[in-house]
Amino acid sequence: MNLLKRIPLIVLIIIGGCQNEEKPQASVKGQLRIGFDIDDTILFSRDTFIKAPHMSDDPDHLDYGWVNTHDSLYSLTIPTMRDLIDMLRSQGHLVYFITARPGVNGEAVGRHLSRELGFQVVKDENLFFAPKRLDPETGKKFTTKHELITSLGLHIFYGDSDNDMVAASVAGIRGVRVIRDQRSVDAYSSNYFGDTKAEKSSRAPIDSMTYQTFLRQGVGPYGETIYPLLPFSGDD
């Protein structure tokens, strides 16, 4: 074979080699990548949000820079979820955290979770901030967690809110609903089974009695599994 005939073959071999080098390494067979929401999933943070300064009269405009640096003072780690994470990590599965909080002072959240959970939690490595995004057409805010769920290749996502279940569904993975502490339901009932504290309407069709039926059945309104069987109590 002369040189001119060999050149295309050589080029194909080089291109093939480069393509193989660029392919991401295959994940370990059987290893899960599992995501967790933070507020009312990992942390009972109601008191942190109640004490947080407001940046305006809008109740949604909290000073998240303050919130993210005060979990160590006012938030409690939920024992059942800490035990679950310990079990998953002991089996070799990978754990990530995705919160709708804005990321200002987010490194402080990572340091707090590291102390509480016993392993390194680092912003933009296994801790991610995904604030809601305003849709200019509808004027409504929607979750962006599904984007991170997809990019991280998660298999399961645990969270307490309706938005968490929507994010998991949009990303095409299994969502697991964590029971929100009743004190949090009383403090901010929206975005949780619609709104079990609001007057019954198309936006809030699930009243408190129907909510208890969902809990007994162990399946939520989005078809999600409900976990754990017993809700968190601050006395645990």
Mean pLDDT (the chain, rounded): 88
CB 176 within 8 Å of CB 225: yes
- Note the pLDDT tens digit of each residue in 101-154: 999 999 999 999 999 999 999 999 999 999 999 888 888 889 999 999 999 999
Q: How far is CA 115 from CA 34, 77, 108, 120, in A?
A: 20, 11, 11, 8
Q: What is the DSSP string of 93-112?
A: -EEEEEESS--TTHHHHHHH
CB 184 within 8 Å of CB 46: yes
Backbone torsions φ then ψ of 84, nearest 5 degrees: -65, -45
**Residue 60 banded pLDDT, cuts 50, 70, 90:** low
How far apart CA 73 and CA 54 sit, in angstroms, is 18
The stretch 58-77 carries a mean pLDDT of: 90
Q: Is the pLDDT of residue 157 over 60?
A: yes
> What is the residue whose two structure tokens read 């989005």?
222
pLDDT for the residue 134: 85
**What are the residue ranges of helices labelled H in the chain?**
3-22, 46-51, 64-67, 71-74, 79-90, 106-117, 145-152, 162-171, 182-187, 208-217
Q: Is the pLDDT of residue 87 over 60?
A: yes
CA angle (140 as vertex; 160, 143 as ends), nearest 5: 35
Cα 49 vs. chain centroid, distance in angstroms? 18
**Residue 4 banded pLDDT, cuts 50, 70, 90:** very low
Hey, what domains does the chain have and what are their CATH numbers? 32-227 (3.40.50.1000)
How far apart CA 131 and CA 144 sit, in angstroms, is 7
Torsion, Cα of 224, 228, 231, 232 (10° steps): -120
The DSSP code for 62 is B
CA angle (154 as vertex; 152, 157 as ends), nearest 5: 125
- Note the pLDDT tens digit of each residue in 207-232: 999 999 999 999 999 999 999 966 66
Residue 184, classed as helix, strand or coil, is: helix
CB 155 within 8 Å of CB 174: yes
Q: 94-99 and 174-178 as β-strands: parallel, antiparallel, unpaired?
A: unpaired
pLDDT for the residue 201: 95
pLDDT for the residue 58: 64
- 150-175 burial, b for 16+ CB within 10 Å, e for fewer? eebebbbbbbbbbbbbbbbbbbebbb
Q: Is the pLDDT of residue 9 over 70?
A: no
